[in-house]
Amino acid sequence: MIRLLIVDDSALVRQVLTEILSAEPDIEVVGTAADPFLAREKIKALRPDVLTLDVEMPRMDGLTFLENLMRLHPLPVVMVSSLTERGAEVTLDALALGAVDFVTKPKLEVARGLREYGRELAEKVRAAAQVRVRPPAARRAAPPTAPATEAPRARSFRTTDRLIAIGASTGGTEAIREVLERMPADAPGTVIVQHIPAAFSRAFAQRMDRLSPMAVCEAHDGQPIRPGHAYIAPGDRHLRVVSDGARWVCRLDDGPAVNRHRPSVDVLFRSVATHAGRNAVGVLLTGMGEDGARGLLELRNAGAPTVVQDEASSIVWGMPGAAVKLGAAQEVQPVGAIASRLLELAAR
C-alpha cells in the first residue's frame, strides 16, 4: 500500500482527492492537512510515502514548504496546481525544487474536474512512490561533464546537416533543462516533445529560452527548423517534422492522442525517421509509460543514432527503459552527459 498525505487548503479538494485515491486498491490516504504547518506535523506522525501538495497555500506558500521539505525530509511530491499562467510558472519552479510531477486543478467545477483526473492522478501517485527523491543540490552535483562549449565540433552545422529530436515526460522539464543548458548557441536544430498541459508549454519554452544558449520557442505550424534553435511542441498538439525542399519545417496537428498523449513522442520520432533518417539524432529522457520507445526504434532502423537517459538519473525510467527493452537505444547515458554526446554524434 502507498501511504498518501493530501495537503490542500480547500476542504472540497481534500474531500474529493481522498475519495478518488482511497478507491484505488493500492493507495491508502493516511491523512489530510489544510496548510504546511499541519502537514509538517502529520508527516512526522503518519510517515507517508507520497504527498500531494497544493501550489497556493495559506500561512506558508507551497514552494517554500516544498523547498524546506526537500532539504530536511525529502519525500516524493505530486503538485496540484491551477491551470493558469501563474500556476504554470509556480509548477515549473516546484519541479525544479524536486517535485516529481503535477496535475492541474480546473478553474471551474473543481470536484467534477478532479474526478475526471482521477486515473491520471492515481498513476502519478504510483509513479511517485517508486522514485528515489534527491534534493536539487544532489541532482546537480552529478559527476561533472565537459561544458558544451568544449564538445567536439568538427564542422559548422547547416540546416540540412543534422536534426536532434528529444522526447520526455515525468521529470522531463528538468532533464530537458539540463540538456539545453549544455548545448552551444550553434547546435543543430532541435525538436522537443514534453508531456505538458497546453497552458504550461509556452511558459516552459520561455523558461528554457532564458536558460539555454540556444533560442527556444513554442513551435508554430510551418516554422522552419534552423540551427541554434529549439522548438517545443505546444501542450495540446502533435509536432511533426516534414521536408520542404532542402529544409525541415514544423507541422502541428490536432489528431487523436497516441499512447494517451497529445503531443506524443512517438508521433515526433516517426516523422523524424521518415523525413530526416540518418541525418537525425534521437534521445528519450525520463518519463512514465512507453511513449517514444517504438518511435525511437524506427529512428534507429532509419540509421539515426539513438540515446536514452540512464535509470540512475531518471525520475521515472519508464519510457527509456521501454526503449532499451525494444532494442531502440544504441547508448544509455546519464543526463549530464547527454548534450555533449548528442553534439559528438551530430558531428559525425
Per-residue pLDDT of 8-64, as tens digits, reads 988 988 998 899 999 999 999 999 999 999 999 999 999 999 999 988 777 788 899
293-335 pLDDT, tens digit per residue, is 999 999 999 999 999 999 999 999 999 999 999 999 999 999 9
What is the pLDDT averaged over residues 103-121? 73
pTM above 0.85, yes or no: yes
Q: How far apart are CA 235 and CA 217, in angstroms?
A: 13
Under the banding of pLDDT at 50, 70 and 90, the label for residue 158 is: very low
User: Could you give the percent of the chain with pLDDT greater than 70?
Assistant: 90
Which pLDDT score is estimated for 137? 57
pLDDT at 290 over 50: yes
Which contiguous run of DSSP H or E holds residue 188? none
Q: How far apart are CA 320 and CA 182, in angstroms?
A: 21
Which pLDDT score is estimated for 109? 67
238-257 pLDDT, tens digit per residue, is 999 999 988 999 999 999 99
Cell 506522525 locates to 45
Q: How far apart are CA 332 and CA 103, in angstroms?
A: 29
- Which residues are known to be catalytic? 169, 195, 291
* Domains of the chain with bracketed CATH: 2-136 (3.40.50.2300), 155-346 (3.40.50.180)
End-to-end CA distance of the chain: 50
Query: Which cell is 187 given?
Result: 547546435
Pairing type for strands 247-253 and 238-244 reads antiparallel
Which pLDDT score is estimated for 313? 95
